[in-house]
Structure 1
Amino acid sequence: MKKSFKLALLTFILLASGISIEGVKANSVNAKTYSKAVTKIAGSKNYSIYHRVSSKGPAGKFTSTKYFKYGQIQSKKYISTKKGTYWDIYVDGRHVGWVNQNFFARDKISVAGDVSLVNNAEYSFNTKDAINYVTDSKGTAIDLNKVSVDHAYINSGKAGVTKVNYSYKKAHALVNVTVRNNPAEAENLATLSPQKGFKLATGWKGSSKGSSTNWNAVHHYTSETRPNTIKGSNGLILKTRLYQPRFVSLSYGQAADAMGQVGVIPEGITVNDNIFAASMYSSSNDDHGHIVSYNLNHIKSKTAAQNLTTMKWSTFKSYAKHIKVSPYIKLGHGQALGSSQDYIYVMANNNKYSNGPQSEEILQIRKSDMQINKIWTFRIATNRYIHNATFVGDNTMYALFHNGAHGYYEYWKLTRSGDEWHAQEVGATQGNFVSNSPVQGFAYGNGNFYIGFNDHIFKVSENGQAKAHYKFNTRRELEGMSVNGSQLYVEFAQRSELTVGKAD
């Protein structure tokens, strides 16, 4: 075949694909390529997105970053042109196109507005917990280990204010960390007698677990195609509201660092005003992860969100606008979530810390941009470390304390006044509920607590009175619960599935 004919044929194929010869040449000569995708952080302004880029600049404008600025943005390459530097971006795991580097937040450290610590000499605050993200001159997210901080830890035993400075090359930030001047805030007593509890139940026997229909090697972890109905005892029926994507990012092994992968392990959920948020981790041993929020007013399909990378472009653009991903932030175990109209709240505890005098962090995360707005710490007492909690509005948290040695559960109400969180025991229940499962979810609504274990949910009145026991047979891990109005939301793992039933 003659060279001229080969060139003509190649030109025809590329033009038919919407790619110019000039663009291909520029890509091969000028592109900087990474073996794994780096995480990019969006700035505040909107920019055009293009199909292709050559050494002369971009061409083929077809959409805007306004649809994608709160998604998980990643890239494997960029090109320097006469009109600036352009990055080839993926959003929520789907290839999108080329965008000017000025779109990204460059040389920036984003931190919480301020931090308020309960007075407790037994605890020191890790100041890097206040960081949302750090970027370099190209808008690429930087490992927090590379960030310099002039106070790595602040002991909370002495009242006062410490200015904490963060720096990375040209990027700088400042946070005021205040230790509150009220030691009595962290010294509360449990005084209530536990009410009669439930007959001890038993969870799974054996190591095998269940899954949704297609979440297994036989079905290649493909998407579910029909909603699920999960029937429990005593009339509780849970129905699928949303099957979530396996990843809201590029999948296994494609990200350059832990900041990049979003999925596949859920730990906790919250639903408020049809905004559903879930904490997501790439490993069950992590204390940093992402929160992913879904606007259920717009994401009405129960199954479509699983297919972000293959759905129609117009549908993806709409979905991407209503799915938000937080930066890679400190979430602790990530099981204790709640929300108000404007904020998501996380009690970022250490689930491997059994009990003792340590303080615990509360993160207030803006729904608008999914970044930490403020941090508080609290402590109920020297011997009341909390592993499960939920939030009701902006000023109230309910906490669950389990003393396995004595065989009872306590319920605490913490009310915020200014920056102080004042605790009061409101109820207690005898028993351990389930013999071989940890608490997997805790919710409050309509005067009742809902305590979730694997295949078991218990309903308890606020004062600790046992009201109902719902048993299932899914053999799937329960990963968080939330009550919103008359509805009880329950999250199941493998595949991540939000279900909803009646909270009577």
Structure 2
Amino acid sequence: MQRKNSFKVVMATAALLMGGVLISTTSNKADAKSFSKAVTKIAGNGNYAIYHKVSSNGASGKFTSTKYFKHGQIQSKRYVSTKKGNFWDIYVDGRHVGWVNQNFFARNQISVAPEISLVNNSNYSFPTRDAVNYVTDSQGTAVNPSQVHVSKAYVNTATTVEYSYGKAKASANIKIYNSQDVAASKTPEAGFKSTSTWTGGSKGSSRNWNRAHGYRSETSGNTFKGNGLTLKTRLFQPRFVSLGYGQAGDQMGQVGVIPEGITVNGNDFVTSMFTSSSSQFGHLVSYNLSAIKSKTAAQNLTTMSWNSFKSYAQNIKVSPYIKLGHGQSLGSTSSSIYVMANDNNYNNGPKSEEIFQISKSDMKIKKIWTFRIASNRYIHNATFVGDNTMYALFHNGGHNSYEYWKLTRNGDEWRAEEVGATQGRFITNSPVQGFAYAGGDFFIGFNDYIFRVNESGKAKQRYHFNTRREIEGMSGNGSNLFVQFAQRAELTKGRI
């Protein structure tokens, strides 16, 4: 006997291949298609019902709406063709949700930053696919940006770039501005006595982030004290904000597990997440801390109560899979997130560097600039303190000093001036892992050390926390300094 609003999938053909290739199936009641690994889906603008069940006649058992989940990471392993269209069985932020009509997704679309302003630099050409937020096919499934056709793959002159994939089309307007190289002019202030730290990644972890405790969730916060600065846990983050290891069939799907940088503005906390330490593309994840008050609950998105998850999902936003560079140089205002997307494997030289402005409302790139201070001043760490101001840190190893640069935007142009410098190496065997500006001072992090200097570069304080965990980004917000530690990703907060 056939039951209304239900179906039994009977395997008719199967082609189980690597990388999420389609497995064809048929049903006596509905035509179902399944995937060996999840594909990434991109939400559209409309609100649609989500259902418990689906059959050849359509979906039934409405229980919620996509309005709660449209800014999450959406994935799916199967869909069903019905008389009322295709319905996809979706996961949001790694949690199974239910069936939704395919019309919910952004189909046949290319989203790009429409305006790109490049500093005139014969030594650098902008990779035009860096401007892509997402590309989708006719079913609203994300397509790797490498597959989009571009009229020009690299540009260093004023032009219009056309993007296309299937029926989807978009364009970006490229502008050029001229800028003179700026020479360093500040005499370095006396610095700190150099010290060394461990090498080769974090040597410690939070209480449960280890094999002995099964990498399970933390249940209580920490207090770290170091030479006058006290940091307290504000938020333990999910290991993944998506399906986990090996479950995504595309590069765009997995969100985590490597954090790199942070920015906090008001109650908005944003972190960059990567699947690989060598990747320059990843996701930004935004948390509304005014709604997410618990220090520990966000770790448990897949196991918390349904009502709690629905609330959390509304207050966690995930960007598309976009260019982030090393991902440590972030900043934010009330409406925008800024990323300086540097190449951390490029030591120094004449290349330009990219700045992305990303809308907090939809987590998409809306504008791109490039800048260059000088042919021998490639920046690896920066922070933003407004829509028009960026502070950049340059480690001049040849002169045994750190330089602090202020870049100011006027329209489509970024102009640099040196504001200070400090003698010394600070830490002899570790790269910078966090850079922040707060209360008129710069904060520079290495492993679990933080060095504080004033704007001219005068040494003020060295903090050491003995966590044996790497700092993965810092951010100043008023009189507060936020510091993220690795393993597990833990946002901490201290007053300066």
Structure 1 segments unaligned to the other structure (5+ residues): 1-6, 12-19
Residue of 403, 418, 429 corresponding to 1:425? 418
In the TM superposition, what is the alpha-carbon distance from 1:422 to its structure 2 partner? Answer: 0.8
Inter-CA distance 479–206: structure 2 relative to 1 (3 Å threshold): closer
Tell whether the 8 Å contact from 2:225 to 2:465 is kept in structure 1 after alignment.
yes
1:190 aligns with 2:184: yes
Inter-CA distance 79–496: structure 2 relative to 1 (3 Å threshold): same
Residue of 215, 219, 222 corresponding to 1:225? 219
**SS in structure 2 opposite 1:117?**
strand
Q: Residues of 2 paired with 1:206 and 1:99: CA distance? A: 45
Inter-CA distance 262–486: structure 2 relative to 1 (3 Å threshold): same
Tell whether the 8 Å contact from 1:325 to 1:370 is kept in structure 2 after alignment.
yes
Match of 1:201 in 2: 195
**SS in structure 2 opposite 1:102?**
helix
**SS in structure 2 opposite 1:464?**
coil
Tell whether the 8 Å contact from 1:26 to 1:54 is kept in structure 2 after alignment.
no
Deviates more, 1:38-47 or 1:26-35: 26-35
In the TM superposition, what is the alpha-carbon distance from 1:45 to its structure 2 partner? Answer: 0.6
Task: Give TM-score, length-normalised by structure 2.
Answer: 0.95
Supply the AA of the counterpart residue of 1:479. Answer: E
**SS in structure 2 opposite 1:391?**
strand
In the TM superposition, what is the alpha-carbon distance from 1:404 to its structure 2 partner? Answer: 1.4
**SS in structure 2 opposite 1:316?**
helix
Q: Residues of 1 paired with 2:98 and 2:480: CA distance? A: 40
Superposed CA offset, 1:1-30 (max 9, x none)? xxxxxx8xxx9xxxxxxxx56513268612
Tell whether the 8 Å contact from 2:188 to 2:422 is kept in structure 1 after alignment.
yes
In the TM superposition, what is the alpha-carbon distance from 1:113 to its structure 2 partner? Answer: 2.1
**SS in structure 2 opposite 1:437?**
coil
Supply the AA of the counterpart residue of 2:8. Answer: K
Inter-CA distance 206–26: structure 2 relative to 1 (3 Å threshold): closer
Match of 1:255 in 2: 248
Match of 1:325 in 2: 318
Inter-CA distance 204–428: structure 2 relative to 1 (3 Å threshold): same
Match of 1:3 in 2: none
In the TM superposition, what is the alpha-carbon distance from 1:183 to its structure 2 partner? Answer: 3.6
Tell whether the 8 Å contact from 2:120 to 2:156 is kept in structure 1 after alignment.
no
Q: Residues of 2 paired with 1:455 and 1:465: CA distance? A: 21
Supply the AA of the counterpart residue of 1:422. Answer: R
Q: Residues of 2 paired with 1:205 and 1:352: CA distance? A: 17
What percentage of residue pairs aligned between the two structures are identical?
69
Match of 1:16 in 2: none
Supply the AA of the counterpart residue of 2:266. Answer: D
In the TM superposition, what is the alpha-carbon distance from 1:229 to its structure 2 partner? Answer: 1.1
The 5-angstrom pairing of residues 356-371 of structure 1 reads 356-371=349-364
Deviates more, 1:207-216 or 1:462-471: 207-216
Inter-CA distance 75–206: structure 2 relative to 1 (3 Å threshold): closer
**SS in structure 1 opposite 2:139?**
coil
Match of 2:162 in 1: 165
Q: Residues of 2 paired with 1:305 and 1:126: CA distance? A: 36
1:436 aligns with 2:437: no
Residue of 448, 453, 465 corresponding to 1:460? 453
**SS in structure 1 opposite 2:123?**
strand
Supply the AA of the counterpart residue of 2:392. Answer: A
**SS in structure 1 opposite 2:125?**
strand
Match of 1:134 in 2: 135
The 5-angstrom pairing of residues 333-352 of structure 1 reads 333-352=326-345
In the TM superposition, what is the alpha-carbon distance from 1:220 to its structure 2 partner? Answer: 1.1
**SS in structure 2 opposite 1:392?**
strand
Tell whether the 8 Å contact from 2:118 to 2:156 is kept in structure 1 after alignment.
no
Tell whether the 8 Å contact from 1:245 to 1:308 is kept in structure 2 after alignment.
yes
Tell whether the 8 Å contact from 1:346 to 1:362 is kept in structure 2 after alignment.
yes
Inter-CA distance 206–496: structure 2 relative to 1 (3 Å threshold): closer
**SS in structure 2 opposite 1:405?**
helix
The 5-angstrom pairing of residues 71-82 of structure 1 reads 71-82=72-83
In the TM superposition, what is the alpha-carbon distance from 1:389 to its structure 2 partner? Answer: 0.2
Match of 1:24 in 2: 7
Structure 2 segments unaligned to the other structure (5+ residues): 11-25
The 5-angstrom pairing of residues 293-308 of structure 1 reads 293-308=286-301
Residue of 238, 243, 248 corresponding to 1:245? 238
Match of 1:215 in 2: 209
In the TM superposition, what is the alpha-carbon distance from 1:204 to its structure 2 partner? Answer: 1.8
**SS in structure 2 opposite 1:267?**
strand
Match of 2:487 in 1: 494
Tell whether the 8 Å contact from 1:123 to 1:155 is kept in structure 2 after alignment.
yes
Supply the AA of the counterpart residue of 1:274. Answer: N
Match of 2:51 in 1: 50
Tell whether the 8 Å contact from 2:5 to 2:60 is kept in structure 1 after alignment.
no
Match of 1:312 in 2: 305
Superposed CA offset, 1:435-456 (max 9, x none)? 1111000000111000011110
Supply the AA of the counterpart residue of 1:86. Answer: F
The 5-angstrom pairing of residues 273-284 of structure 1 reads 273-284=266-277
The 5-angstrom pairing of residues 34-45 of structure 1 reads 34-45=35-46
Match of 1:268 in 2: 261
**Which structure shows the bigger proportion of residues in helix conformation?**
1
Q: Residues of 1 paired with 2:396 and 2:171: CA distance? A: 40
Supply the AA of the counterpart residue of 2:288. Answer: N
Q: Residues of 1 paired with 2:4 and 2:206: CA distance? A: 47
Supply the AA of the counterpart residue of 1:123. Answer: Y
The 5-angstrom pairing of residues 286-297 of structure 1 reads 286-297=279-290
**SS in structure 2 opposite 1:436?**
coil
Match of 2:67 in 1: 66
Q: Residues of 2 paired with 1:226 and 1:189: CA distance? A: 49
Q: Residues of 2 paired with 1:22 and 1:371: CA distance? A: 38
Tell whether the 8 Å contact from 1:26 to 1:55 is kept in structure 2 after alignment.
no
In the TM superposition, what is the alpha-carbon distance from 1:170 to its structure 2 partner? Answer: 0.3
Q: Residues of 2 paired with 1:439 and 1:71: CA distance? A: 31
**SS in structure 1 opposite 2:399?**
coil
Tell whether the 8 Å contact from 2:5 to 2:53 is kept in structure 1 after alignment.
no
Aligned residues: 478
Superposed CA offset, 1:164-206 (max 9, x none)? 00000100001011111x242xx10111100000011221268
Superposed CA offset, 1:50-96 (max 9, x none)? 00101111100000000000000000000011111100000000000
In the TM superposition, what is the alpha-carbon distance from 1:128 to its structure 2 partner? Answer: 0.2
The RMSD of aligned alpha carbons is: 1.3
Consecutive aligned runs of 4 or more in structure 1 exceeding 4 Å deviation: 205-208
1:100 aligns with 2:88: no
Q: Residues of 2 paired with 1:208 and 1:477: CA distance? A: 5
Superposed CA offset, 1:238-265 (max 9, x none)? 1100000000000000000110000000
Supply the AA of the counterpart residue of 1:24. Answer: F
Q: Residues of 2 paired with 1:340 and 1:183: CA distance? A: 26
Superposed CA offset, 1:402-425 (max 9, x none)? 011221000000000111111000
